[in-house]
Each structure stands twice: as structure tokens, then as C-alpha cells.
Chains A and B, each alone.
Chain A
Amino acid sequence: MSHPMLPATTHDEAAAQLFVRDFKMFLTESVEPGHRARAERLDPGASSNARVETVYDRLHADEGFRAWASLRRTSQEMLWAGVSESVARQADSLEALAAAAPEHGSLTLDPNFVQPAYLDSGDVHLMPGGYAHDDGALLQGAVMDRGGAVYMLGRNGGLMNDVRGHTIVAHIFAQYPDLDPREILELGCGVGTSLIPVASAFPDAQVHGIDVGAAMLRYALARARHLGATVHLHQGDAENPPFPDASFDLVFSSVLLHETSPAAIANIMAQCYRLLKPGGVVVHLEVPNRYDELDLWGKIRGEIEADYNNEPNWKAAISADYRALLAQAGFSDIAVGYQAATSTPLRGAGGFSDTSMGTFRSWFVASARK
């Protein structure tokens, strides 16, 4: 399944994007195991108080590791370069398609908006311009949408990239079956990959999303309109969401926290509490790993991602004690665990447990009630 706003590809653009997908797969499946084995040989042991740092430094002494790490980054740069070129080619038709969308929902931009410092310091995932880049149109959103689908290698709902949103709905059905949200907000909605499935699960609700990127939001609105979803999008920062207290019954985020900062995570928890009506529910979905459960290579891989794919808050986000953070923000009925990934959330299906089923099979979720 796809949607009308998704940038199309020519024969050669599609081939180039498939090359990136398969090159990444080769680097991960065929090259990485050797470096992983070497990391285990270089391990100073659990008694070392700088185990990960030591192994990470020692790995860099090897030319092959350096070549692998740099080609891994290159594959990511190729992804964005290929997608950008393809999007630029069809800029006029994408804008015309956006203009022709049925007019429902809304977009509120803030001309004085300044992106948070943690985003300004580096472009997350090496996407040139970052989430907040404003091209004056919607091209950055188109790049993000197409690039995200290629980056996920089809494992998160293919070109719709919407499994996380459906999984959030499944979590609500499992943990808060009585919740009938009238006002919903997503923090960091991006192009709306998670917002749309949540909106379609609660068709009577008024659905809002905030994001830092004007181009991202223009694209998200057109994408939602073509998908028949009515959403109200606002340029804003999750640490300072532009809404009065007690505005929402459901506030959620989807893989947002690991792109923020340690201080921002605590501030976002507090803002969610402020924004919810009494009895309202917060759901944060995150990457399905906990730092202390990772093996040595899992931790090394995180360092590689932080350094060479601009994921600087990855470690803090998967180390955070969400139970404590949510309690500190004032929440009760706190649930922290893993929700089975799904494209078809059903009431009564459950799917929430203490144990991860692995990457792309389940997602980490921290949720609570005000």
C-alpha cells in the first residue's frame, strides 16, 4: 500500500534506492558479524569500568572497522542524496498534488519558531537540513517520507511506515480499553506516519500533531488530506507545546524521545501531564531495546549510530527510568514494557508484556494515566 503524496521513482531512481537498501543489508548482515566477533575478542571484561569505550577505541585501530563504519555512513548519505534528487525532480507535481488535495484539517506555522538546540547541533540520521529545514514548500517532508520508508527496509509497514502508530493503538486497546479520546495530540508527528493510524482508530476525535519542521508539516497535511484523515498540525516544540493546560485525552509520541536530549525527556513528561485532562492517557513508544539488556555489541552499535548517524540521545533514551520519570511528572497507572508490533490493532487482543520480542516485532512503550 502507498499513498498519493509519496514521491514516485523513475526506473533508475528505484534501482538506486534498492541498491542502498541492499548495500545496507550487506554491510549489516555480511560485514558486521566479523566486527562483532572482533569486539568480543577485544573485550577487557566486565571488571573494566570503561568496557564499551575501550572496545570502541580498540575497534577504531583496525582499518577494516574504519572502512565499514565510514561506508555505513556513506550508505546513509547515498540514501538521502538519491531520495533528494528524486524529490527535486518532481517538486512541481508534488506541490500541485498538495494544492489539489481536499481541504480538511489545518496547519498553523510559527514564523518565530526556533528549533531546539539538540536538533540544531546535528542533522538526525544525516538527513541534510534536518527535520526543521524549511524549503518554503513541502519537499523536506517528501524526502523524509520516502527516505524513512527506504531506511526501514520495508520492516515498519512498507511504504506507509505506519506499524508504530497501529502499535500505539494496540497498546491503548490493551491497557486503557475504556479510553474514548475526543482530543488527541502527537508530539513530533513528522510526516504523520503514526498520526494517521491513530486518527483512523478514533474517527470521532479531533487530532492534532506538532513538529519542528514547516516543510515537514506542509507535506504531512497534504499526505493526511489525500489519505482522508482530518488532522490539525502546528509548528512547535515538544518541550513547549502551544496548547493550554488540560486540552487532550490522549498525548503520544512515536520514536521521538531518542531524538531529543536527557533534559528534554523530563520536560516532555511534565508537558504531557500539563496537557492532559484528568483521566487522560500518555503513551510514548520507543525503540525496542533497553541499554542494560544490550550485549556488548549492542552497546557498541549504539555508539556507532550516535557518532556516525547522528543519534546522540540514543543511549540516554534507552537508559532512562520511565517509570520514575512518569511518576515524577505526577502520573499514575504507569505501564512500562513491550507492545507487540501490529498493522491491525484489535480490542481485546492484548499484546503488552514485560519482554521484548525483538526489533520490529515489538516496540518499547511507557504509558500512564493522569
Chain B
Amino acid sequence: MTQPAPRPTMPTRAKRRIPVPGQSPAEDRMLAMIAALASELAVTRERLDSVERLLERANIVDRAAIETFTPDAAQSSDRDAIRRRLIAHIFGPLRSDADAQGDA
């Protein structure tokens, strides 16, 4: 049995992308990463808002209770891990650069 031909990948880069005079490619990239990060955050916030509203509609969660929620020790530890992974992920390029300096 033959496999169907793999679907061609869609192009991801536009032809003709000229540099902004005076701007370093590093700054252009950095701004793009910040914009992507802001987008991810906006998407997550919107999803969280949907979840909260659905839970409230189902009488599972009172949204006011979220404001007074206090995690126990294990829950705090889980949340520390989430936060630290996020920091390591976002600031990964900074660490890569420092590691490269250290290796040199």
C-alpha cells in the first residue's frame, strides 16, 4: 500500500524583506519575539477567561472566589515550576548568550 504524497509545506517567509535602515537585525528579531510573546499571553488570557466563564455558568466556580484562592504547599510548588519554566523559556536567549561567553 502506498502512502499518500506528503502535503507540501506552506511558505513561511515573504520574498523581499528589506532591512529598516539603522536597525540591527537583532533588534528587529527581539521586537518580533516580544510581539509573539504578547500574542501568546493574549491568547492564554482569552482562553482562561473562557474557562472561568464556562465554569461559572455551570455553577462550578464563583469567579469572586478566584481572588481569594490560596494554594497549599504542593500547589505552590507546582506553580513555582510553571513560573520558572516560563522565565527560562522566555529568557532562554539571554542564557544561551551567557553560556557561549562562559564557553569561550
Mark A residues whose CB is within 8 Å of B.
Answer: 11-12, 15-16, 18-20, 23, 57, 60-61, 63, 66-67, 69-71, 73-75, 77-78, 80-82, 84, 87-88, 91, 120-123, 126-130, 133, 135-137, 139-140, 143, 307-308, 310
Contacts of B16 in A (CB 8 A): 121-123, 310
11 of the cross-chain contacts (CB-CB < 8 Å) are A16-B43, A60-B20, A61-B22, A66-B22, A70-B23, A70-B32, A71-B31, A78-B36, A123-B16, A128-B14, A307-B18
Instruction: Scan B49-80; emit 1 where CB is below 8 A from any A CB, else 0.
Output: 01000000000000000000000000000000
Is B10 a contact partner of A23 (Cβ separation < 8 A)?
no
Contacts of A16 in B (CB 8 A): 39, 42-43
Decide: A74 and B11 in contact? CB cutoff 8 A.
no
State whether A135 touches B8 (Cβ < 8 A): yes
Asked if B7 is at the interface of the complex by the 8 Å CB criterion, the answer is yes
- Greatest chain A CB density within 10 A among B31, B35, B36, B46 is at B35
> A20 to B39, Cβ gap below 8 A?
yes
Q: Which of B10, B31, B35, B47 contacts A15 (CB 8 A)?
A: B47
Q: Within 8 Å CB of A61, what residues of B?
A: 22
Task: List residues of chain A with CB within 8 A of the CB of B46.
Answer: 11-12, 15, 18
| Partner of B14 from A18, A19, A122 at Cβ < 8 Å | A122
B12 in complex: contacting residue of A84, A137, A139, A310, CB < 8 Å: A84
Q: Give bound CA distance, A77 to B12, whole Å.
A: 9
Q: Tell me the count of chain B residues lying within 8 A, CB to CB, of chain A.
A: 28
User: Does A78 lie within 8 Å of B14, measured CB to CB?
Assistant: no
For the complex, is B89 an interface residue (Cβ under 8 Å from A)? no
Q: Within the assembled complex, what's the spacing in Å between the Cα atoms of A122 and B43?
A: 31
**Beyond A19-B38, A19-B43, 13 extra complex contacts between A and B, CB < 8 Å:** A12-B46, A16-B43, A19-B42, A66-B22, A70-B28, A71-B32, A74-B28, A77-B14, A84-B12, A87-B10, A123-B14, A129-B11, A137-B7
Whether, in the assembled complex, B13 has its beta carbon less than 8 Å from a beta carbon of chain A, the answer is yes
Q: CA–CA, A342 to B97, complex, Å?
A: 55
**The 3 residue pairs across chains A and B that have the minimum distance between CB atoms:** A122-B16, A129-B11, A128-B11
Docked-complex contact A69 and B47, CB < 8 angstroms? no
> Is B21 at the interface (CB under 8 A from chain A)?
yes
A139 to chain B: closest residue by CB: B10
What B residues does A75 contact at CB under 8 A? 35
The answer to whether B99 has its CB under 8 Å from any CB of chain A is no
Which residues of chain A come closer than 8 Å to B15, judged between CB atoms? 120-123, 130
Q: What is the minimal beta-carbon distance from A282 to any residue of chain B, in angstroms? A: 31
How far, in whole Å, are A11 and B21 apart by their CA atoms in the complex? 38
- Minimum CB–CB distance from A9 to chain B (whole Å) comes to 11
A2 to B60, CA, bound (A): 35
Task: Assess whether B39 is in contact with A74, with CB atoms less than 8 Å apart.
Answer: no
Is B27 at the interface (CB under 8 A from chain A)?
yes
Contact status B31-A74, CB under 8 Å: yes
Minimum C-beta distance from B8 to chain A (A) = 5
Q: Which of A15, A87, A136, A308 is the one whose CB lies under 8 Å from B8?
A: A136
A125: nearest chain-B partner, CB-CB: B14
Is there contact, CB below 8 Å, between A88 and B14?
no
B84 at the interface (CB under 8 A from A): no
Closest Cβ of chain A to B94, distance in Å, is 19
Q: Which of A66, A73, A91, A126 contacts B7 (CB 8 A)?
A: A91
**Complex interface: chain B residues within 8 A of A128 (CB):** 10-14
Q: Which of A11, A84, A130 contacts B47 (CB 8 A)?
A: A11
Measured between C-beta atoms, what is the minimum distance from B21 to chain A in Å? Answer: 5
Cα(A255)–Cα(B39), bound, Å: 30
Complex Cα distance, B32 from A75, in Å, reads: 8
Chain B contacts for A57, CB-based, 8 A: 21
Query: How far apart are the CA atoms of A139 and B23 in the complex, in Å?
Result: 34
Across-interface contacts of A143 in B (CB, < 8 A):
10
Given the interface pairs A81-B12, A84-B10, A84-B12, the reply to whether A66 lies near B20 with Cβ below 8 Å is yes
Chain A residue with minimal CB distance to B15?
A123
Residue of A nearest to B51 (CB): A11
Give Cα distance in the complex from A7 to B99, angstroms.
44
